[in-house]
Amino acid sequence: MALSSSSAIRHQSFSLFATTHSSLVPPASHRTAAAIVEAAPLRERRASSLINIPATLSSLLHLHLERKPDDRSVGLPPPAVGRNNPTVSPKEDISSLFPEIHGYADWSPLLNPLHPWLRREIIKYGEFAQATYDAFDFNPLSEFCGSCLYGRHRLLDKLGLARNGYRVSKNVYAMSHVELPRWLERSLHADAWCTESNWMGYVAVSDDAESRRIGCRDIVVAWRGTIAPTEWFEDVQGKLEPFGEAHADVKVEHGFLGVYTSKSDRTRYNKTSASEQVMEEIKRLVSHYRQRGEEVSLTITGHSLGGALALLNAYESASTIPDLPISVISFGGPRVGNVAFGEKLKEMNVKVLRVVVKQDMVPKMPGILFNEGLKRFEHVTGTLEWVYTHVGLELGLDVRSSPYLKHGLDVAGFHNLETYLHLVDGFLSSDKEFRGNARRDVALVNKASGMLRDELHIPPCWVQMANKGMECNAYGRWVKPAREPEDIPSPYREEAQL
């Protein structure tokens, strides 16, 4: 959002300069023909010397910002459903496609065109990732800043996701000894709940009805990411390091690995690392349901930094638990590791689907210049261990495909997870237009962005805390309400219960 604000300031400054400058120049009627002719080449030289910053940035990062001819003159399409219609379709039994969606079979036949069952599953996991933002306490004046707003037993219910048929079994906390883009939120309160750790996601498991519908007992890990993509430019250094002593040739970005593996005995929530917390819970759940004779799958999801942590989590899970179908569905995730990392994931049958918006810069990092594109030169260079590479299949989306979205430069809006989910909901295939019967509420796009066209009259960033979290008590005083006891984070309450 800072980029949009600074752009507005620059625009206003330019407008002021243009107005002032024009007032100092005599009107054309008061100038001689010779003066006008003499000024024309100067204007042309000035125009040719100006740099179009958005176009230049688009060209360097291949953001595909060019507009279709007269695209703003085209009216909005009529809504597919009225405001009194549900935003989700009735659930269907998809167990017949278990091998393709949650099992070992390849996703490729279902991607282009996108199978409606797979579309709904992608959105389901995307909403689980979005929950890590919606339930996160970003308020620096709160003593619980950096924690989850709700206790795990009612987390999904408070966010309207209980309909998906999952329950949270464990919260996951992370810290880092390595500086990364601003992912760690700290409270300014004197009695802060914690100063070293943040709530980083959760583990959930499908209930009996949902397990029958999809054909397996599904364990989900949802990782929280970062919201401000502009910080990736400055702070991601792109340093590769081995995943561990037993994986010397497998190298991953050291900042991502730091978030995943950091721990300290001095902390309350990270005496064990995020890796240890999540792996302990995954192994416990897999053992529990396999003892009951059930088919078990693991699906790991995340957005941005969360997409990177999802890949690290999948790698460790596949290395630790044999014969477990593991899938990763990431949104706007960056490159994580080298060629050996990707090849090992493929060797261990980890299915990876990267949902990527073409205009989003984060999936292009790290390794904007040195990436998987260099594979074509391997016959000359050999395998380059220090080159970053993407993993798995890509579902490519384009902001320009939606008639509801603005087409200008909005770096934060391109990276917004709700923008991703909107585009997935409307995607049919790479050669077809945005589907007219998409049901997901378009207004969600503007929860934390301003990507929707002005004609929709939906205000940008409309999710606001009422009265900035203050409420009037029985004595007429405005106070910050206390959290419900269950919603207060406690390391002793994090013990999982089935």
Helix (H, G, I), strand (E, B) or coil at 464: coil
CATH code of the domain in which 331 resides: 3.40.50.1820
For residue 113, give its domain range: 96-397+464-479
| Residues forming a β-bridge with 326 | 298
Verify cis geometry, omega within 30 degrees of 0, for the bond prior to 69: no
Asked if 168 and 219 touch (Cβ cutoff 8 Å), the reply is: no
278 occurs within a structural domain:
yes
| Element holding 353 (H helix, E strand) | strand 351-357
Mean pLDDT for each 10-residue chunk of the chain (498 residues)? 40 40 41 42 44 46 46 56 69 93 92 96 98 92 89 95 96 76 58 79 98 97 76 58 86 90 87 96 98 97 96 97 96 93 95 97 77 47 65 96 94 95 97 92 95 95 89 94 88 59
pTM of the model: 0.81
Q: Looking at the domain assignment, is residue 261 inside a domain?
A: yes
Q: Residue 148 domain-assigned?
A: yes
> What pLDDT is stored for residue 89 in this prediction?
72
Pick the catalytic residue from 360, 410, 425, 487. 360
Backbone angles phi, psi at 281, to 5 degrees: -75, -40
The total number of structural domains that make up the chain: 1
Residue 303 annotated as catalytic? no
Residue 266 confidence (pLDDT): 83
- E strands in 188-312: 198-206, 217-223, 240-242, 251-253, 296-303
Q: Is 52 exposed, middle or buried (0-12, 13-18, 19+ CB in 10 A)?
A: exposed
Residue 58 forms part of a structural domain: no
**Residue 360 annotated as catalytic:** yes
Which residue is associated with the tokens 């009695």? 191
In a domain, 290, yes or no: yes
Pairwise CA distance, residues 279 & 87, whole Å: 35
Residue 48 lies in a domain: no
Q: Please identify which of the residues 273, 415, 422, 487 carries the catalytic annotation.
A: 415
Active site annotation includes 115? no
Inside any domain, residue 64: no
User: Does residue 294 lie in a domain region?
Assistant: yes
